[in-house]
């Protein structure tokens, strides 16, 4: 059997060791729920298909996280062998994925100035770097700790950093992109703190993580109790942290990042009015959008989401 090298985790947000298991998944369930995993390589992991892994909820701050930290050897196998690299790369550069990136990059670019430096922290296969590579007036830097991915990126991008410890020599940065990164990191507090140390005053931080709201978590617990496959966002091997809006904002505030409301962002305000074919669906969506519009008028925010959250670095004034 492969040595999993699992270490028990305390809450990565508040440090409490008190928690309760809300979801248990077998190794086989984890692999079956993830389209990017190569089923033919599962046997090479030499893991008991019935081996169980837990998702915990902190008894103190209610944050949800993977109960065990996989070893580096285990994670290296998952990211470099179990994952179908070509399929994952294709998804990164798919039209749908690029369209989503264009949308958030449009706002981010409007918030930076000529001469600014932009860091893509955890740049993966580099789709964001590719989109910004020829943008005049800004310098883009990519951080990628996967040796295989970094080697590939270095063939076409001028500045790729392989270790977070080397960031200080390349800062300060005026904008940082954290696109689907924080859920993977063993110690998100340490990572956000590190990022704050290389940010210029007033720097913009864009964050996107899977939305694990209370409602979504409840639905996944129900599926788990019903012995049904969960969404691939619930994966204790890769996704070590599960954020809702309150916990994400709390994490950022600790390092001096303050959320920007939609009223402070360039571009059109999103209130969730979407195309619908059926009249009834359009009416329900219109009513909901009107309520969100009223919220925007009162608070300056309409659709805050962990999928697309902008922060500004105001220094270490929030503790």
* Domains present along the chain, CATH in parentheses: 7-90+212-242 (no CATH), 94-209+247-264+301-313 (3.40.50.150)
> Which range (67-76, 89-98, 112-121, 309-318) has the least confidence?
309-318
Q: How confident is the model at residue 2 (pLDDT cuts 50, 70, 90)?
A: low
Q: How many helices, marked H, and strands, marked E, lie in the chain?
A: 10, 13
- Distance CA(55)–CA(65), nearest Å, equals 6
Mean pLDDT of 253-274: 88
pLDDT at 165 over 70: yes
Contacts of 198 (CB under 8 A, 6+ apart): 119, 167, 168, 170, 171, 172, 173
- Distance CA(271)–CA(309), nearest Å, equals 15
> Which range (54-68, 239-253, 263-277, 299-313) has the least confidence?
263-277
pLDDT at 1 over 50: no
Mean pLDDT of 87-101: 92
User: Looking at residue 318, what is its pLDDT?
Assistant: 39
**Selected residue with higher pLDDT from 1 and 22:** 22
On average, the pLDDT of the chain sits at 91
pTM for the whole structure: 0.92
> Which range (21-35, 231-245, 266-280) has the least confidence?
266-280
Mean pLDDT of 151-168: 92
User: Looking at residue 3, what is its pLDDT?
Assistant: 53
User: Looking at residue 319, what is its pLDDT?
Assistant: 38
Distance of alpha carbon 245 from its chain centroid, rounded? 12
Cβ 78 vs Cβ 27: under 8 Å: no
User: Looking at residue 4, what is its pLDDT?
Assistant: 65
């Amino acid at each position: 059997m492969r040595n999993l090298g699992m270490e028990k985790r305390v809450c990565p947000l508040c440090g409490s060791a008190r928690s309760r298991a809300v979801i248990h998944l077998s190794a086989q369930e984890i692999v079956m729920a993830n389209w990017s995993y190569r089923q033919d390589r599962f046997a090479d992991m030499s893991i008991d298909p019935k081996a169980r892994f837990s998702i915990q909820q902190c008894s103190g701050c209610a944050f949800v996280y993977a109960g065990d930290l996989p070893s580096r050897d285990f994670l290296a196998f998952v990211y470099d062998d179990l994952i179908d690299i070509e399929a994952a790369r294709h998804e990164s550069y798919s039209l749908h994925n690029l369209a989503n990136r264009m949308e958030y990059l449009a706002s981010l670019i409007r918030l930076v100035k000529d001469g600014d430096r932009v860091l893509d922290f955890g740049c993966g296969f580099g789709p964001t770097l590719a989109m910004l590579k020829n943008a005049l007036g800004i310098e883009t830097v990519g951080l990628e700790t996967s040796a295989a991915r970094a080697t590939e990126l270095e063939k076409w991008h001028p500045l790729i950093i392989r270790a977070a410890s080397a960031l200080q020599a390349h800062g300060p940065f005026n904008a940082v992109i954290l696109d689907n990164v924080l859920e993977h990191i063993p110690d998100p507090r340490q990572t956000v703190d590190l990022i704050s140390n290389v940010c210029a005053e007033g720097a913009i931080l864009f964050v996107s993580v899977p939305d694990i709201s209370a409602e979504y978590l409840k639905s996944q617990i129900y599926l788990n109790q019903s012995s049904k496959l969960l969404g691939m966002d619930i994966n204790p091997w890769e996704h070590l942290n599960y954020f809702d809006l309150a916990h994400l904002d709390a994490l950022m505030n600790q390092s001096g990042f303050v959320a920007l409301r939609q009223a402070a962002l360039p571009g059109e305000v999103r209130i969730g009015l979407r195309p619908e074919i059926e009249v009834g669906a359009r009416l329900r969506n219109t009513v909901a959008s009107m309520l969100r519009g009223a919220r925007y008028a009162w608070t300056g925010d309409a659709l805050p989401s962990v999928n697309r959250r902008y922060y500004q670095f105001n220094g270490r004034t929030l503790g």
